[in-house]
């Protein structure tokens, strides 16, 4: 059976391994996991650390731009429907 660990637990173990105050075997024994798992979590922490500092401001601008475009489309549809209605009334 595969045991699921929380992200908090994984980060705690990975940070402890990164500090290198104990051996991987000691850390694994302390948390009752395999030493290879400690190594995997440590390496993942190192490889994905750059994402913690990623600039998220650009993404918000893109989301706002998309939202703005959808609202403009909605407004244009309302105006088009109004113009169609008025053109039918003037044709009578």
pLDDT for the residue 59: 62
Residues 69 and 87 in one domain: yes
Q: pLDDT by residue (tens digit) across 60-88?
A: 666 678 888 989 999 999 999 999 998 88
**Residue 5 shares a structural domain with residue 49:** yes
Say if residue 45 is in the same domain as residue 67. Answer: no
The verdict on 47 and 76 lying in the same domain is no
Q: How far apart are CA 79 and CA 75, in angstroms?
A: 6
Residues 3, 46, single domain; the answer is yes
Same domain assignment for residues 26 and 50: yes
pTM, two decimal places? 0.57
Domain that holds residue 8: 1-54
Same domain membership, residue 63 and residue 89: yes
**Are 22 and 61 within one domain?**
no
Q: What are phi and psi of 2, to 5 degrees?
A: -85, 125
Tell me, what's the pLDDT at 83? 93
Looking at the structure, tell me whether residues 6 and 49 fall in a common domain. yes
Least confident of 15-19, 47-51, 54-58: 54-58
User: Does the pLDDT of residue 57 top 70, yes or no?
Assistant: no
Q: Angle formed by the axes of helices 7-19 and 24-31, to 10°? A: 150
Q: What is the mean pLDDT of residues 2-20?
A: 91
Q: Which tens digits make up the pLDDT trace of 20-55?
A: 999 999 999 999 999 999 999 999 999 988 888 877
3 and 31, same domain (yes or no): yes
Integer CA distances (angstroms), 18 to 7, 31, 47, 49, 75, in order? 16, 15, 12, 12, 54
| Dist. CA 77–CA 88, nearest whole Å | 17
What is the domain count for the chain?
Answer: 2
């Amino acid at each position: 059976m595969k045991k699921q660990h929380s992200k908090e637990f994984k980060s705690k173990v990975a940070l402890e391994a990164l500090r290198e105050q104990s051996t991987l075997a000691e850390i694994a024994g302390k948390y009752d996991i395999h030493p290879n798992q400690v190594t995997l979590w440590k390496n993942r922490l190192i490889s994905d650390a750059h994402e913690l500092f990623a600039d998220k401001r650009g993404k918000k601008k893109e989301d706002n731009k998309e939202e703005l475009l959808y609202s403009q489309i909605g407004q244009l549809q309302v105006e088009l429907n109004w113009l169609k209605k008025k053109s039918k009334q003037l044709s009578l």
